[in-house]
Structure 1
Amino acid sequence: MPDSHLTTEFRPRARLLQLLGDQLIANPRLAVFELVKNAYDADATHVSIVFEKINTRDARIVIEDNGTGMSETTIKNIWLVPGHDHREQQRLQNKRTEKGRLPLGEKGVGRFAVHKLGDKIKLITREEGHDECTVEIDWAKLTNVPMLHDAKVEIFTHATPNIFKNSSGTRIELSKLRESRWGRREIRNLYRQIVSISSPFGKDRDDFIVEFSVPDQPSWIVDLPDVEHILSQAPWRYSFALENGTFSFEYSFRGVPGVRVEPRTLTGTGERLKLPLRSDWDANLDSTSTQSKVVADQKTTAGIGTVKGHFYAFDRDRSVMSQFANASGIKMLLDEGGGVRVYRDGIRVYNYGESEDDWLGLDLRRVQNPTMKLSRNIMFGAIELELADSAGLREKTNREGFVENQAYARLRAIVLGALADFETHRFRDKEAIRKSTLSLTERRAERLTQPLENLRSALANKGLEREFAPILARIQADYQELQESSLRVGVSGLGLAVVFHEVEHGVRTLYGALEAGASPDSVLLQAKELMRVLDGFSELLRKGERKRNSLKKLIQRSREVSSVRFRNHDVKLVCPILEDENDGPFGVFAFGLVLGAITNLLDNAFYWLRVRWVTPLVEGEKVRKIYIGVDEDESGNPQIIVADNGPGLDADPEELTRAFVSTRPEGMGLGLYYANMVMELNEGTLSFPDPLDLDLPPEFDGAVIAMTFKRG
């Protein structure tokens, strides 16, 4: 048989359009959301959504807007053409509507949301200066024809308008609904999503209003929380902006009714935003990405533009929440709408901030550090972007967030960095509240027995006592051993009191999580973390005997342990004592423990040097420097001085030596805490002297830390 050549074409089946509606739009709620966004693109200022005769055979959804509407030509050449790119071209050409809007749509598939909702569709629309048009689609009939080109759609024009007599607009009537039952929960969730389509912080909030009604079940949506009213009561507020690499913020603690903690405010302009270090979530970043830096610069916002944000935080501790008159409304908002949403040009990007999407990993951060970090159920946030400047952020075809590319990873890093700054400021006021409320309601705070009994009772009520019993027994045993060991080795109670408090606070946190309805798996994970903390401190007490050791040899060993890191971070070590032939001075300490403490201090210094000196070399010379030397205090006790030329301490040293307190994004807050505890265990001290009181080279104007030992 001779060779032949055939030219043919794709022959899509008629059912393809219905499949597009099903597969490209994740769920019916998102389909309604997409139709509202279409109204925004049509320059509408008002959209109404009505669910009529809900949960009956005659149920229908009616969506009507006062936008520009469509002519017969537009329906034929754009609305009925899948994948038409006219919106994308408008955006690329920066062609704005009369109201100054750039279109949100870009792929030409959002209109298929109608096919996700109902099998019968009636479109009524009118463009100013044109006849009113009607299009009716019945999928039961259309899918009976085999090929798409056989699926004919009729467009009826009316010289005398029936709906839009004196204006333009579009009305979509959907019947034979594909979601057979819209229950109270689904309607409430949809209502919450629809009313959140416009940013609560936008400048022109009256420019786009969406109304939602269920005439047959009006009570389903009347008791939903008023977001604006509840946010006005938030004890903590934080706003920020990152523009051209410059970071500014406003922090406000308004106080809590009935709790005697003074309000305070902070502002920062011209700051540098610290970014979280690379981790599993930024796998999309290549090795040359700006995210390898620890501070944001102009390149960090490439393809993103200016990033603005607003965070509101609450305290769900019973003694605090009970001070609010509408505590139930606050809890409802946080449970159903807590988290961080994203808006572009004031219109929400779905599904950030929904219960099923923890795009920032807030809940995991909270589990890892419950003392300081914010989870979704105690905060509400919004990120604002400009559509024209954020071309690097492209929405997924299924309308569930951005494509997870490098621009998205950098956006996430920016938000987490700002959130970490907020958490640092909030922690101070949170601790003041805790101390105030404990003095009133929990005078047993320094004892573990009663909190453990409360926790066991709560576990028994939920049928979880058997599963948790071994862990609770271990926690109690380790706690008692830690107390006895500290007395046996003669450790000062000052440092260990902090440990005991953290353990007791951890047990109360577990109890509070159970009472608030947290999942057993989450509580179990927190319990195991608490057990590991205790294990670590027990090991700390058992690890090595104190004896007379050379400070010079300790410094020498510290340099050897960290030599690779000095090279990798381009840091110059200045250490005069290593050039001395003598072995002294000497102190009494456990060598291994103090070596670990110095390693933690160096770890902090390496990070903060990268914050101040983004470029490690200037004219071939290293500008990042660390000093390690020896000195004596006023009593003649030997000291190791660790100093750097970084930005210096940006918080009260007393706060930084507490467990889980960190000003580093994603920092666990255990480095200085560990170092301070080690010095306590060795009958020494960790202090933060004034550089002017020491004989330091003048370039070391950053953090200065002194480790003072008992004379040997």
Structure 2
Amino acid sequence: MKHSFQARAHVLKLLGDELIGDDRLAVFELVKNAYDADATNVQVTVDLNAPEPYISVEDDGTGMDRDTIVTKWLEIGTPSKRGANKVVSKRFLRYPLGEKGVGRLAAHKLGTQQRLLSRAENKRECFVKIDWSENLSGDKRIDETSVDIRELSQPLKYKENRTGTCLKITQLERAEWTRRDIRSLKKLISTLVSPFAAVDSFSVKLDVPGRESWLNDIFDVDDILDNAIWKFSFSIVNAKISWKYEFSPPSMSGVEKRVASKDDDSLRLIELTAEDRKRLDRDDESISLISSDLNGIGDITGHFFVYYRRADLMKKIGNTQQLKEYLDEQTGVRVYRDGIRVYNYGEAGDDWLGLNVRRINRPAERMATNSVIAAINLKLTDSDQLKEKTNREGFDENPAFLRFRHIIQSVVELLDITRQDDRRQLDAALKGKGEATPHPESFEHAVDIVKKAIKDKGLEGDLKPHIDTIEREYKQVRSVMVSSGLAGLNLATIFHEVEREIGAINKGIENNESLDSLKKRTGHLVSLLDGFAPLLKRNSQKRATAYSLVDRAFILSKSRLAHHKIHFSSPLLSGEVDDFVTECPPNLVIGALRNLIDNAIYWARARAEEDPSVSRPPFIYITAFADSAESHAIAVVDNGPGFELPVDTATQPFETTKPGGMGLGLYFTNLVMESIGGSFSVMSAEELRDYIQIPTPLDGAAVILKFKNK
């Protein structure tokens, strides 16, 4: 014998009171219902001074007649807005935002007494009364609840055949609303409609009778957006991205405004692991965005406004305190569909893109959630695989959402890469310099400059022993760390700090900094390096041929080259050019060569994908040649896009144009070559062609490893 499910009235409390996160979100949901009803104006009122305090939401939408109220509004989980029933509205052709059939229960979150007046076109006005305290008393079943519905012979509110719905809620669950609560509600309501997309004149207003002053001095969003330092807008159509970038600093010496843009460009995606591709339901290993990535998502547009929260810069902008307060409360990356917000993306504490985590490794180069106001816009009809959670707090984390998030994270990477040079110029100007400080040529070069400055100032007796110790221990630690293969965060951070501090010591000497201060600086570096003393041991040097080094790196990379269909050629391995012998730690050099091959694979693939109309299979070429009477070299050349960063920048830690990259590959290679007494340089393939013959298709980057003859 079969039986049906039964439900107690308490489930209504679960769906209304406990499923909706807070009072603001409950009001937010009721306003979204007005949007679905083709309203153009919505009036939200929170009257806390009335004899019986109330919250009301009134709209001028299509309204409801008695039949609609009984068969749809009172039916929980009704399918009237989903599946085959999900059709555009009659007046503005809007697609319904609500599809779960439980949004109307949001009112239960606000209060226990509800009065509803609603009128449809050419129908009588209907009055609905719900007493939740009575309906939820005892242990009633849902079918034992009672709702009073009456058709009125004369309309009370919607006269002259006007239509709409007005819901008034009394016996409020929250007895008192603070000024902060009301202002927070106002700001949330103001974010319902995207400021960048027209939504059929849909307008929402908030009124707080007797407490209007609480809403004074709330910044208008346009005022805030004008103060952004970086502005970035983009559109993704047919898997191609078009974007415009604006750098608008306040008037400062040495800093100029800049505008850049691209049309119908490829969007390079942050690389995914095999496990991540499986989670995203992405079989393709393409580096760039492809059409299938947008299945169930559709075209995407967006606007980013990025702020620099340094106190000295905000003072130059003006309205410092108000701007700071607004950014504290309103920053984040919001998502809109058909111009209406998908809650809770962009709320305080929400970091759905992981912006703050990204900053751990490169805090100076990447934006945080509290420094960006952004809107991502989707079309409701095209983004059908993005399903909103029943509690209205974001999308279900299905493969479509994971692909969507990955795409937006890659757009953020593009923005951060585009603005990094402007950020450096701005930092330099704020420090009182005309231009960004150039990177030292090498640690050894920086130390030589310091030694000369010490000698010129007559400080050799006081400081030279410290500098000699720093130089000796730095080289020992570098040798050990590099030989351990630790081309990671700690390696780069340690050496970057030491190299930066050497530059600061030199500047201190030039500026006649006190001797005590200089001793403290040098003492700090000695202490830092002494901490690694137990690890120090000399690297094992061996005689090795260039052939053996390249052959081993090729064997270790062979499967990747084959997997990605990379054309590989090496006249060194084929015996077409002369081999040479060097002395080095072979594993270090092989590791450096593998780094270079990995980079070449990525960039050669990227260029091939971005310009498929040209027959340009990815190509990597490794050769050897006599660089001079004292040295020989190994060159790794590709047909990628070439270096997109200045050469002196590309070899610094954390500098990269690869989405999601750490920017340590070339830095690691440089450290390896310095540790064995060799050198390292980067150039274009065309520049290398001035020295040796290389095949014509090679027109990308060339990396040269130079070894001293033995």
Aligned position for 1:80: 74
Quickly say closer, same or farther: Cα 1:225–1:441, change in 2 above 3 A: farther
Report 1:286-325 matches (<5 A).
288-290=282-284, 292-325=285-318
Contact 1:630–1:640 (Cα < 8 Å) also in 2: yes
Aligned position for 1:398: 391
Deviations 1:323-374 (A, max 9, x none): 1102223322322122211000000000111123211111100112213221
Partner residue of 2:623 out of 626, 629, 632:
629
RMSD between superposed Cα atoms in Å? 3.8
Normalised by the size of structure 2, how large is the TM-score?
0.82
What's the secondary structure of 1:707's corresponding residue? strand
Q: Would you say 1:699 and 2:694 are equivalent positions?
A: no
Contact 1:20–1:112 (Cα < 8 Å) also in 2: yes
Aligned position for 2:62: 68
CA distance in 2, matches of 1:173, 1:432: 56
Q: Would you say 1:603 and 2:591 are equivalent positions?
A: no
CA distance in 1, matches of 2:656, 2:601: 15
Quickly say closer, same or farther: Cα 1:497–1:32, change in 2 above 3 A: closer
Contact 1:123–1:172 (Cα < 8 Å) also in 2: yes
What's the secondary structure of 1:270's corresponding residue? strand
Cα offset, 1:490, TM superposition:
12
Cα offset, 1:128, TM superposition:
2.0
Structure 2: 5+ residue stretches without partners: 440-465, 480-491, 505-524
Q: Would you say 1:566 and 2:561 are equivalent positions?
A: yes
Aligned position for 1:419: 412
Cα offset, 1:557, TM superposition:
2.6
Q: Would you say 1:129 and 2:122 are equivalent positions?
A: yes
Contact 2:653–2:667 (Cα < 8 Å) also in 1: yes
Aligned position for 2:33: 38
Aligned position for 2:173: 178
Q: Which moved more, 1:160-169 or 1:435-444?
A: 435-444
CA distance in 2, matches of 1:412, 1:382: 13
Cα offset, 1:240, TM superposition:
1.2
CA distance in 2, matches of 1:44, 1:418: 34
Contact 2:425–2:435 (Cα < 8 Å) also in 1: no
Partner residue of 2:249 out of 255, 276, 287:
255
Q: Would you say 1:162 and 2:156 are equivalent positions?
A: yes
Deviations 1:110-161 (A, max 9, x none): 1111112111111111112111111111112112362222222121222321
Q: Which moved more, 1:577-586 or 1:306-315?
A: 577-586
Deviations 1:222-253 (A, max 9, x none): 23332221111211111111111111111111
CA distance in 2, matches of 1:267, 1:444: 27
- AA of the residue aligned to 1:387: L
Partner residue of 1:556 out of 551, 554, 572:
551
Cα offset, 1:497, TM superposition:
12
Partner residue of 2:356 out of 349, 356, 363:
363
CA distance in 1, matches of 2:366, 2:252: 24
Partner residue of 2:105 out of 102, 112, 116:
112
Cα offset, 1:275, TM superposition:
0.9
- AA of the residue aligned to 1:499: H
Q: Which moved more, 1:421-430 or 1:219-228?
A: 219-228
Contact 1:57–1:176 (Cα < 8 Å) also in 2: no
What's the secondary structure of 1:673's corresponding residue? helix
Aligned position for 1:101: 94
Quickly say closer, same or farther: Cα 1:444–1:429, change in 2 above 3 A: closer
Deviations 1:545-568 (A, max 9, x none): 778653333212322333343344
- AA of the residue aligned to 1:439: G
Aligned position for 2:239: 245
Number of residue equivalences: 644
Cα offset, 1:444, TM superposition:
12
Aligned position for 1:465: none
Contact 1:225–1:332 (Cα < 8 Å) also in 2: no
What's the secondary structure of 2:431's corresponding residue? helix
Quickly say closer, same or farther: Cα 1:366–1:677, change in 2 above 3 A: same
CA distance in 1, matches of 2:557, 2:571: 17
CA distance in 2, matches of 1:536, 1:421: 39
Partner residue of 1:580 out of 575, 580, 584:
575
Alignment identity in percent? Answer: 37
- AA of the residue aligned to 2:549: L
Quickly say closer, same or farther: Cα 1:496–1:386, change in 2 above 3 A: closer
Deviations 1:603-659 (A, max 9, x none): 2122223323459999xx994332111134467632211112333333333332222
